[in-house]
Amino acid sequence: MNQKSGIFDMIGPIMIGPSSSHTAGVVKIANVAYKILGGQPDEAVITFYNSFARTYEGHGSDKAVLGGLLGFATDDERIRNSPQIAQEQGMKYTYKAVGNASTLHPNTIKLELTKNNKRIEIIGESRGGGLINIASYNGFRADFTAQLPTLIIEALDIKGSIAFIAQVLAQDDCNIATMNVSRKAKHDIACHFIEMDTALENITIQYLLHLKWIHNIIYLTPIT
Amino acid sequence: MSVLFDNFRAWQQYCEQHNLPLYVPVLEYEREQKGNSEEFVWQGLARAYQVMKEAVQTGLTQDMRSRSGMINNGAKKVFHHPLNVLSQEFKEMISSALAAKEVNSCMGRIVAAPTAGASGILPGILTNLQKIHRLSDRKILEGLLVAAGIALIIEQNASLAGAVGGCQAETGSAAAMGAGAIVYCLGGSITQVFNAVAITIQCMLGLVCDPVAGLVEVPCVVRNASAAAIAYSSAQIALADVSSVIPVDECVQAMGEIGQSMETRYKETALGGLAATPTGQQIAQKVLIQDIEILNEE
Ligand code: SF4
């Protein structure tokens, strides 16, 4: 998707400094996790990789990630005080730094989060200019940018499932921009990551969710 | 009617043919590319300008110390210094640019224009331009649109990112945007506006990106002040009808060519220039996290 820049890419974004890849991008990755989890985690283990590993404190990425996990947007001034706010709200967190994960993008973060009994793991890449890529979700290869309405569907890996889902979305007049399906083994659970040009009706999601072979659906609105 | 100018010449021709001010095709571009209404654009610009003004104010009034300690309330010191090397206005302009950029380094709210590293330049230029010449907000917002048009063309033909084109791409582009906006707001002709852009680029060519410890602090903060000063000097030159000799499109080409041939140690990697000096490395030792796990990869 090679979208042309607009004037608010030149005069903007409005954000918390110091750098779009170290703060804005990091906040967005954590925002995705916040939305998938349905709120702030009780406990977070945050791992900074590669180039992030040495610079995350100096650039304030540690505060940015907590801000994002608390649900703050990229231009929220509370980000600067996010460690205190997290503490006040009883959110536990630990940081790790890993230097040389050569298979990962230079600016990568892993978030291992728990809330009540739910546990998720997200790996995100901050790709510069505030753009992000969610590289994986719970071990499934994901690759979505969170710039468009996105569906994450966990379903049994049965014949025709991909075509069926695409059909249902088309009925809702929804154009698919990108679609990735990843699974751990044949006939195991498959995870569909679908980016769409327009928003979905709730009823479409409800319909899909009520099918027996679909186990779970997460619908993400774009993150700005 | 599709208005997709990808160089300065086409932009100028279009405006002259249709007898339009420079900002109009930028507005049309945004409407067509992004489907944004005119009202949405003006509101967005007003909000951006508001945040710029607030950043200047914050930097001049609140405690601005960065975590590394390298940034320590410099803007306020300059602003309150009794001796004016040139004039009160010059001093205020320089301190405003420093102030907004210090806010960025200290995790405050800024407008990346075009990038976060260059976020002090347009605030420093525009807030003082408005004050000195008593310009309306509307004029300043038109100037911002002209600045956005300038950046769009530079992005297409060179780069705006320090990691791709060195600091000339970041602070150099912001200065070029600012110079164009100044001349536009003061009623200069299109040729004069583009001469100001060209002259500014000529002054910023070759500047490398060499941030100490990889942080957007040193030399970034002082470069925001110098870039704003260069924008003003170029505007002063261009308004007097002094030609840039090399046309603006060719200056942008030169910037792209220099950016491409620049070694990677001068592109935000913190491996060359100021970052590689003994003091720069000492600071890096202190602020960078040393306690990191190294994987045993097979
Ligand atoms: S030195 Fe590099 S990081 Fe600093 S302002 Fe210039 S381009 Fe940005």
DSSP string spanning chain B?
A: ------SHHHHHHHHHHHT--THHHHHHHHHHHH---HHHHHHHHHHHHHHHHHHHHHHHHS--B-TTSS-BSHHHHHHH-S--SS-HHHHHHHHHHHHHHHHHHTT-EEE-SS-GGGTTHHHHHHHHHHHHHT--HHHHHHHHHHHHHHHHHHHHHS-S-HHHH-HIIIIIHHHHHHHHHHHHHTT--HHHHHHHHHHHHHHHTT--B--GGG-S-TTHHHHHHHHHHHHHHHHHHHHTT---SS-HHHHHHHHHHHHHHS-GGGBTSSSSGGGGSHHHHHHHHHHS----B-----
**What pLDDT digit, counting tens, does each position of A5-40 carry?**
899 999 999 999 999 989 999 999 999 999 999 999
In terms of Cβ atoms closer than 10 Å to its own Cβ (0-12, 13-18, 19+), residue A18 is buried
- What's the B212 CA to ligand 1 centre distance in angstroms? 10
Do B147 and A10 make contact, defined as CB atoms within 8 angstroms?
yes
Distance (Å, rounded) from C-alpha B36 to C-alpha B161? 26
Please name the residue whose Cα sits nearest to atom 4 of ligand 1.
B220
Please list every protein residue whose CB sits less than 6 Å from any atom of ligand 1.
Answer: B 117-118, 162, 167, 170-171, 209-211, 216, 219-220, 223, 268
Output the pLDDT for position A33. 98
pTM for the structure as a whole: 0.92
Q: Which residues of chain B have pLDDT under 50?
A: 1-2, 298
- What's the gap in Å between the CA of B188 and the closest CA on chain A? 22
Query: What domain range includes position B259?
Result: 8-287
Atom of ligand 1 nearest to the CA of B170: 7
Distance (Å, rounded) from C-alpha A143 to C-alpha B134? 50
Selected residues 144-173 of chain B with any CB under 8 Å from a CB in chain A: 144-145, 147-149, 151-152, 155, 160-161, 163
- What's the B148 CA to ligand 1 centre distance in angstroms? 20
Range A150-220 has CATH code 3.30.70.260? yes
Is B293 inside any structural domain? no
**A49: which strand partners?**
A98
Is B1 inside any structural domain? no
| A43-49 and A92-98 beta bridge pairing | parallel
Residues A103-126 have a mean pLDDT of: 95
Q: What is the ipTM of this complex?
A: 0.95
Pocket test for ligand 1, best of B101, B110, B121, B171 (most atoms within 8 A of CB): B171
Q: Are A60 and A123 in contact (CB under 8 A)?
A: no
- From the list B185, B204, B63, the residue with the least C-alpha distance to B127 is B185
Is B3 inside any structural domain? no
Q: What's the number of domains chain B is made of?
A: 1
Is B205 inside any structural domain? yes
Q: Are B47 and B141 in contact (CB under 8 A)?
A: no
Other Cβ atoms less than 10 A from the Cβ of B298: the count is 3
Output the pLDDT for position B297. 58
- What's the B13 CA to ligand 1 centre distance in angstroms? 34
State yes or no: pLDDT of A99 exceeds 70. yes
Is B292 inside any structural domain? no
- From the list B156, B184, B141, the residue with the least C-alpha distance to B4 is B156
A14-138 CATH pick, 3.30.1330.90, 3.10.20.30, 3.40.50.170, 1.10.150.120: 3.30.1330.90
- From the list A203, A208, A216, the residue with the least C-alpha distance to A155 is A216
Domain ranges of chain A: 14-138, 150-220
Q: Are B67 and A57 in contact (CB under 8 A)?
A: yes
Do A10 and B48 make contact, defined as CB atoms within 8 angstroms?
no
Buried b (16+ CB within 10 A) or exposed e, B125-158: bbbbbbeeeebeeebbbbbbbbbbbbbbbbbbeb
- What's the gap in Å between the CA of A101 and the closest CA on chain B? 7
Atom of ligand 1 nearest to the CA of B166: 7
Q: Are B103 and A23 in contact (CB under 8 A)?
A: no
In terms of Cβ atoms closer than 10 Å to its own Cβ (0-12, 13-18, 19+), residue A90 is exposed
**What pLDDT digit, counting tens, does each position of A166-196 carry?**
999 999 999 999 999 998 888 889 999 999 9
**Residue B269, domain CATH:** 1.10.4100
Which string of DSSP letters, residue by residue, matches A148-167?
S-EEEEEEE--TTHHHHHHH
Do B36 and A16 make contact, defined as CB atoms within 8 angstroms?
no
